[in-house]
């Protein structure tokens, strides 16, 4: 009998999302409108922030956060090599120069001390990526913001439900971008949002997100609307749609329950992986993990360099996995343009070489976790 495949990730969507999306479509208003505005208000209320702008992706949010901060040609933005391409690409698209510094070896997050050492007269900002769901050391980064005049931008694609103390990620007064991609803790299929500290900046970002127009279609085509509009700046097509927002509102209602299940699954993993030559995700005191990833690393001092073979063994056992991330300095484009190369960031390279993301999502069962743990143990024993 063929073994049943356990996918690496699966969105938690069902009849409630189908119903909400169907109602949005049947309303005949399917682009940005009342539902998108409702989703923005609901997310802002959950986080306890003044403004949220719903967008087509987290990448859009990162790009607009740079532009809204006045960052462009001649400026440097420091960020991490252990991230997805979108973080660095948004800096390039803003016309600025990305500068990479190394990570904290335990969390995988950007090192605040390494950022401070890399500041030059051209440095305008640091883009802080919250890796896997464990928040970065925002006290240290906010100190750099206040002490060195550095703009702090947060890439919170993994961190919608992450906490520092009793505060959600995104509530430190920095522009903070979230992702609602299909694999994320809350999904709208594609989509994202940007937390904005004040209304004036939020209004500018909304204009930038829709071609730079002074009025969107909802303002122009509804009863009492005016066809007149002005283009105030060269903007982009980055808006969320009401179809996306309809799903997002349902997902937001389910988020606490989905997070509770993620936390239970992570606890099961932690228990079942005890005793294996595997470094489990760190949980620093005072931090609340969102468990977007269950990111383990092989203890290479015991196992040797067998990460790729272990992934192949898990695949043959019908278990999907991923790797987060191939460092930016390993990719052809960035190596050619900026001269980075493997070995430039030793902590990030070591983290990557040993890292495996195991399946973790709300529809998994404890038996699924046991199956993954057993397969991982079998592979390590076989390869040992």
pLDDT in tens, 248-259: 999 999 999 999
Give the pLDDT confidence score for residue 227 in this predicted structure. 77
Beginning with the edge strand found earlier in the chain, give each strand of the sheet holding 123-129 in spatial order: 51-55, 192-196, 175-179, 151-155, 123-129, 76-79, 97-100
Residue listed under structure tokens 């992702």: 179
User: 184, 237, 254, 341: which one is catalytic?
Assistant: 184
| 283 has pLDDT over 70 | yes
Q: What are the residues whose beta carbons fall under 8 Å from the beta carbon of 210, sequence distance 6 or more?
A: 32, 216, 235, 236, 237, 238, 239
Does the active-site annotation cover 184? yes
Q: Are 245 and 36 in contact (CB under 8 A)?
A: yes
Mind listing the domains of the chain with CATH numbers? 15-252 (3.40.640.10), 255-383 (3.90.1150.10)
> What's the pLDDT at 229?
87
- Please give the sequence-ordered ranges of beta strands (E in DSSP) within the chain, or none if there are none: 51-55, 76-79, 97-100, 123-129, 151-155, 163-164, 167-168, 175-179, 192-196, 278-279, 287-288, 294-298, 355-358
pLDDT at 221 over 60: no
Band (217; pLDDT cuts 50, 70, 90)? low
**Which letter does DSSP use for residue 329 in this model?**
G
The whole-chain average pLDDT of the chain stands at: 96
Separation between Cα atoms, residue 310 and residue 123, nearest integer Å: 41
Residue 137 structure tokens: 């050391």
- State the Cα–Cα distance between residues 208 and 190, nearest whole angstrom: 19
Q: What does the pLDDT read at residue 102? A: 98
pLDDT computed for residue 219 by the predictor:
55
Contact between 57 and 190 under an 8 Å Cβ cutoff? The reply is: yes
φ, ψ dihedrals at 343, nearest 5°: 100, -15
Locus of tokens 């606490």: 256
């Amino acid at each position: 009998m063929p073994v049943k495949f356990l996918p690496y990730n699966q969105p938690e969507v069902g009849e409630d999302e189908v119903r909400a999306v169907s109602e949005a479509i049947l309303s005949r208003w399917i682009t940005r409108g009342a539902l998108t505005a409702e989703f923005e208000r609901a997310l802002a209320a959950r986080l306890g922030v003044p403004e949220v702008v719903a967008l087509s992706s987290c990448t859009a949010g990162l790009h607009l956060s740079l532009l809204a901060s006045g960052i462009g040609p001649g400026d440097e933005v420091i960020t991490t090599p252990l991230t997805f391409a979108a973080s660095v690409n948004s800096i390039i698209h803003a016309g600025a120069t990305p500068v990479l510094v190394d990570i904290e070896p335990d969390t995988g997050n950007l090192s605040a001390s390494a950022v401070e050492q890399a500041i030059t007269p051209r440095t305008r900002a640091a883009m802080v990526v919250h890796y896997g769901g464990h928040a970065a050391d925002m006290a240290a980064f906010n100190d750099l913001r206040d002490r060195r005049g550095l703009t702090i931008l947060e890439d919170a694609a993994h961190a919608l439900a992450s906490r520092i103390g009793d505060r959600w990620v995104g509530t430190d007064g920095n522009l903070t971008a979230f992702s609602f991609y299909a694999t994320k803790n809350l999904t709208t299929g594609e989509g994202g949002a940007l937390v904005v500290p004040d209304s004036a900046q939020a209004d500018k970002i909304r204009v930038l997100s829709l071609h730079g127009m002074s009025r969107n279609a909802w303002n122009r085509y509804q009863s009492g609307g005016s066809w007149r509009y002005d283009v105030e700046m060269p903007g982009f097509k980055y808006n969320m749609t009401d179809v996306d927002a309809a799903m997002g509102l349902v997902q937001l209602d389910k988020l606490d329950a989905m997070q509770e299940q993620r936390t239970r699954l992570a606890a099961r993993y932690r228990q079942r992986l005890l005793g294996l030559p595997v470094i489990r995700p760190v949980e620093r005191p005072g931090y609340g993990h969102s468990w977007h990833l269950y990111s383990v690393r092989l203890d290479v001092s015991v196992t040797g360099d067998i990460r790729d073979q272990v992934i192949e063994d898990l695949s043959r056992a019908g278990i999907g996995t991923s790797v987060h991330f191939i460092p930016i300095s390993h990719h052809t484009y960035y190596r050619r343009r900026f001269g980075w190369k493997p070995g430039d960031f030793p902590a990030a390279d070591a983290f990557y070489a040993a890292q495996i993301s195991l399946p973790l999502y709300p529809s998994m069962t404890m038996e699924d976790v046991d199956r993954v743990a057993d397969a991982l143990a079998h592979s390590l024993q076989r390869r040992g």
